[in-house]
Amino acid sequence: MKAKRNTQRFWLAAFIFVLFSFGVMADVPVPDIPEAVKGEQCVEETGFMRRNHMELLLHQRDDTLRKGIRTQKHSLKNCFTCHVVKGADNQPVTVKDSRHFCRECHDYAAVQVDCFQCHTSVPGGAKTTGTRP
Amino acid sequence: MSNTQDHIQDDNQIDSYRRKLLGGGAALAGAAALGSGVFFTSIARAKPDAEPASSEIRWGFLIDTNKCADNCDKCVTACNDEFNLTGFGRPETDAQWIRTVTLRDKKTGHTTKLPLMCQHCAHPPCVDVCPTGASFKRPDGIVLVDKHTCIGCRYCMIACPYKARSFVHETIENQKEYGPRGKGTVESCTLCVHRVDKGEIPACAEACPEKAILFGNMNDANSDIARRMASTVSTEIRGDLRLDLGVRYQGI
Contacts of B153 (CB under 8 A, 6+ apart): B131
Higher pLDDT, A117 or A28: A117
Q: Domain ranges in chain B?
A: 2-250
Q: Is B81 on the interface with A (CB under 8 A)?
A: yes
- Residue A66: helix, strand or coil by DSSP? helix
In Å, how far are A2, A5, A9, A10 from A16, measured between CA atoms?
Answer: 21, 17, 11, 10
Tell me the per-residue pLDDT of A95-111, one tens digit each, with 9 for 90 and over: 999 999 999 999 999 99
**CB pairs A-B closer than 8 Å:** 79
Would the pLDDT of A133 be above 80? no
Q: How far is A110 from A95, CA to CA, in rounded Å?
A: 15
CA B180 to chain centroid, in Å, comes to 19
- Tell me if A125 and B176 make a contact (CB, 8 A cut-off): yes
Answer whether B173 sits within 8 Å of A61, measured CB to CB: no
Residue B229's pLDDT is what? 96
Confidence (pLDDT) at B44: 55
Over its C-alpha atoms, chain B yields an Rg (Å, rounded) of 18
Q: How far apart are CA B161 and CA B237, in angstroms?
A: 10
Q: Determine, for residues B138 and A70 on separate chains, whether the beta-carbon distance falls below 8 Å.
A: no
Nearest to A60 by CA among A50, A70, A47, A48: A70
Chain A positions touching chain B (beta carbons under 8 Å): 61-63, 65-72, 77, 117-120, 123-126, 128-133
Query: B49, A72: Cβ pair inside 8 Å?
Result: yes
Asked if residues B60 and B216 have their Cβ atoms less than 8 Å apart, the reply is yes
For B2-250, CATH gives 3.30.70.20
Q: What is the pLDDT of residue A16?
A: 65
Task: Name which of B50, B148, B180 is nearest A71 (Cβ-Cβ).
Answer: B50
At residue B46, the pLDDT reads 75
Looking at chain B, which residue has its C-alpha nearest residue A64?
B52
Structure confidence at residue A51 (pLDDT):
95
- Kindly tell me if the per-residue pLDDT of A68 is higher than 90: yes
Cα nearest neighbour of A118 on chain B: B182
Residue A37 is predicted with a pLDDT of 83
Ordered DSSP codes for A94-120: -TTSTTSHHHHHHHHHT----GGGTS-
Checking phi first, is residue B192 left (phi over 0); if not, alpha (psi -120 to 50) or beta? left
ipTM for the whole complex: 0.77
pLDDT tens digits, residue range A113-122? 999 999 999 9
- Residue A107 to residue B98: CA distance in whole angstroms: 40
User: C-alpha angle B159/A114/B182, rounded to 5°?
Assistant: 40
A117, A127, A128, A131: best to mutate for the B interface, most B CBs within 10 A: A117
Asked if B138 and B52 count as a contact pair (C-beta separation under 8 A), the reply is no
**pLDDT 10s digit of each residue in chain B, 252 long?**
444 444 545 555 555 555 554 444 444 444 444 444 444 455 656 789 889 999 999 999 999 999 999 899 999 999 999 999 998 999 899 999 999 999 999 999 999 999 999 999 999 999 999 999 999 999 999 999 999 999 999 999 999 999 999 999 999 988 999 999 999 999 999 999 999 999 999 999 999 999 999 999 999 999 999 999 999 999 999 999 999 999 999 998
In chain A the first and final C-alpha atoms are separated, in Å, by 86
Instruction: Give the pLDDT of residue B23.
Output: 47
